[in-house]
C-alpha cells in the first residue's frame, strides 16, 4: 500500500470517531440551548405569576374598601370559591390528560406519585361500577365526569353573579353595586389567569422530574 493510500486508510479509520465527537458536540449544544430556553420560559412564568399575585392582593383590598353589604360579600366569596374549585378540577384534568399521553404505550394505568384526588376518586368509583369496562373507556368516562364538575362550579359562579345583578333595580346605590360586581369579576379573571400559569409550572415540574428520574434509573 502506498503512502497516499495508507494516509487515506488511516483517515477513514479515524472518521467515525471524528463524526461521533461532532455529533456529541451538537447534541450537547442542543441540550444546553433547550435547557436555557426552558429556563427563560420558567423565569417569564414566575415573573407573570408575581405580577398576578400583586394584582390579586390589590383587587382584594379594593373590594373590601368598597362599602358593600354583607350579602354582597357572601356572594363574592361564593363566586371566588367556586372559581377556585373549578380551577382545581381543571388542573387535575390537564395533568391526567398529559399523564395519559406520556403513558399511552403502557398496558397499566397507575397514578404513582401524582396527587389527583378528584380524578382518582372518580376513576375508582367508575372502576367498581363497571367492572367489565376497558381501562380506556373508564379513563374517558373519568375525564367526562370531571368536566361535568367544572361545569357545575361554573354554573354556581354564574348563578351568584346573576343574583347580584338582579338586586340592581332596588339597590340604594346602583353605581356602587356595578363597581362591586366589576371588582368581583376582575378578581375572578385574575384568579383564572394566575391558576393557568400555576398549571404550567405544575406540568413542567411533574413531567420533567419523572423524565429525569427515568433517565437517572
CA 175 – CA 193 distance, rounded (Å)? 27
Q: What are the residues whose beta carbons fall under 8 Å from the beta carbon of 140, sequence distance 6 or more? A: none
pLDDT tens per residue across span 162-172: 999 999 888 88
| Per-residue pLDDT, 214 | 46
Q: Is the dihedral of CA 127, 131, 136, 138 positive or negative?
A: negative
CA dist., res. 217 & res. 213, Å (int): 6
pLDDT recorded at residue 134? 84
Buried b (16+ CB within 10 A) or exposed e, 37-56: eeeeeeeeeeeebeebeebe
Q: For the range 165-170, what are the long-range contacts, defined as Cβ-Cβ under 8 Å and sequence gap of 24 or more? A: none
Which among 154, 118, 111, 119 has a CA at the least distance from the CA of 140? 119
**Each residue's pLDDT tens digit, 123-159:** 989 888 866 678 888 899 999 999 999 999 999 999 9
pLDDT digit string, tens, across residues 9-42: 554 454 444 445 566 566 666 666 666 777 787 8
Kindly compute the dihedral angle of the four CA atoms of residues 68, 86, 149, 181, in this order, to the nearest 10 degrees.
30
Distance CA(161)–CA(157), nearest Å, equals 6
Q: What is the pLDDT of residues 81-132, one digit of tens each?
A: 999 999 999 999 999 999 888 876 554 455 656 789 999 999 989 888 866 6
Amino acid at each position: 500500500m502506498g503512502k497516499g493510500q495508507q494516509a487515506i486508510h488511516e483517515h477513514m479509520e479515524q472518521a467515525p470517531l471524528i463524526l461521533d465527537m461532532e455529533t456529541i458536540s451538537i447534541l450537547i449544544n442542543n441540550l444546553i440551548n433547550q435547557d436555557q430556553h426552558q429556563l427563560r420560559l420558567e423565569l417569564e412564568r414566575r415573573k407573570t405569576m408575581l405580577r398576578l399575585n400583586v394584582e390579586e392582593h390589590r383587587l382584594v383590598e379594593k373590594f373590601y374598601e368598597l362599602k358593600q353589604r354583607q350579602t354582597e360579600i357572601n356572594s363574592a366569596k361564593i363566586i371566588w370559591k367556586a372559581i377556585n374549585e373549578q380551577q382545581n378540577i381543571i388542573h387535575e384534568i390537564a395533568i391526567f390528560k398529559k399523564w395519559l399521553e406520556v403513558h399511552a404505550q403502557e398496558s397499566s394505568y397507575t397514578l404513582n406519585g401524582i396527587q389527583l384526588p378528584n380524578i382518582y376518586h372518580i376513576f375508582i368509583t367508575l372502576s367498581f361500577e363497571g367492572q367489565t369496562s376497558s381501562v380506556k373507556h373508564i379513563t374517558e368516562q373519568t375525564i367526562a365526569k370531571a368536566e361535568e364538575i367544572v361545569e357545575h362550579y361554573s354554573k354556581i359562579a354564574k348563578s351568584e353573579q346573576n343574583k347580584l345583578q338582579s338586586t340592581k333595580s332596588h339597590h340604594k346605590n346602583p353605581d356602587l353595586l356595578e363597581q362591586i360586581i366589576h371588582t368581583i369579576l376582575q378578581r375572578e379573571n385574575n384568579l383564572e389567569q394566575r391558576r393557568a400559569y400555576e398549571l404550567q409550572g405544575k406540568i413542567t415540574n411533574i413531567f420533567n422530574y419523572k423524565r429525569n428520574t427515568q433517565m437517572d434509573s
